[in-house]
Structure 1
Amino acid sequence: MNKQINHQTNTRQLWLISRLFFRNVALLGLTTILINPVAASYAQSSLIQNLNADSYIIAQTSADDYNNRGIDKVKKGDYQEAIQYFTQALRLAPNDANIYNNRGFIRVYLGENQEAIEDFTQALRLNPRDFNAYNNRGIARRQQKNYQGAIEDFTQALHLKPEFTPLYFNRGNIRLESGDYQGAIEDYQKAAALSQQQENTELWEEALNKILIAVQQLTLDSSPTPTQAKELKQTPTI
């Protein structure tokens, strides 16, 4: 069973997404039937394979247990302890992209952005189609003022999940903050259209408000400064 938690940060309306995975792993039962020497040889080989598999399952269960404890700590607000549990889980399951995403999620929340970026990058090496990791890495990059990198991550996330409305808000907010007002308007318009289709009134109203803000900024940006206005008045006309 997995659980996805969406967090909306209090500043600049950025959605931070994390999959927090709980796992229930059942241990395999082992049965060996000896019928003849050939069968006995096969049974022994099968038993060794099963024992090896069983050892792996025990180790994996331990990683899952640490991961689940980390999630419990997140729910209680014990974020540093959560990171310790996720780190222990990764020692036992170093190829688990979801645990990297979990730890990175908490690191962004704590402002440890470079460490979070490293976690999300590793998660994407292991699972290149994880739109959550792209989104979350984009937010971490935005925290570092790496607007271009953030936009690239949000764009990649949208390629993977084009109907997920918060991604348009996230990219639009970065574009607004970096001065790309027209790009921001386009993202908010897409968010408004999706919200209307999905009958999400709250997000639809938020998108309309964002469009208004971006249009106002675009208008101000295109208006001449007092110096430019004075020069225009002094320019002779034919």
Structure 2
Amino acid sequence: MKDTCIATTMTTSSTTAETVTTANTTTTTTITDHMTPAEFDEAFTAVMPRLRLRLLALTGNPHDADDLLQETYLRLSRRARAHTLARQHQPYAYTCAAALNLLRDLWRHPSRQERCTDRLPERSWDGGFASREAETVATGLLRGLSPKEAAAVILVDIEGLTHDMAGERLGAHRGTVQRNRMRGLAKIRAALDTYEPAFAPIPGTRVGGRPTLPAPAACTTTI
């Protein structure tokens, strides 16, 4: 009777050890049973049409569905290449869950979404610096002209009047206005080639998008 009990105890212990060993073996097999990149590509390609239909129903936009499908593939394929993606018995359910997690993350963090637009963003307001700088440059250039030349340039090129209308306002012939304007524009072009910035900028930079043009020191004529 005693020998029978000892034998039974040893048998039970042996069975337990085998069970533990079997459990460890099973666990080890589960941990090391990973999908290769080729196997993942094959599995994902098989479920991709069905998965895209599901994502299209959720997003309501084919472009968003395609983007989400691509992001799902990239995220899972990185795991496959790193040999950390376990083999799945239900590939569609697994890929669908991964895609839904990505979509839920986008809904929670809208700022992470890429927004495509055909409109450029508006330029930010610079406090009126560019407008003031342009006025300063224009005033400096006009001071280098005679009063008649400056008047012709202002009326025709700035206010947009015709030569006839400018002549009526100035009490001069159309041809006179045209000649004064041409001489004034020629002087402005020459001044633009000779003007230097009011201060030396840092090499490789531009102030306000263009150099600041000071008025000629020798000119005292005003309009």
TM-score range, shorter chain: under 0.3
Q: Which has more helix, going by share of residues? A: 1
> TM-score, length-normalised on structure 2?
0.21
> TM-score, length-normalised on structure 1?
0.20
**Which structure has the larger Rg?**
2
Q: Which has more strand, going by share of residues? A: 1
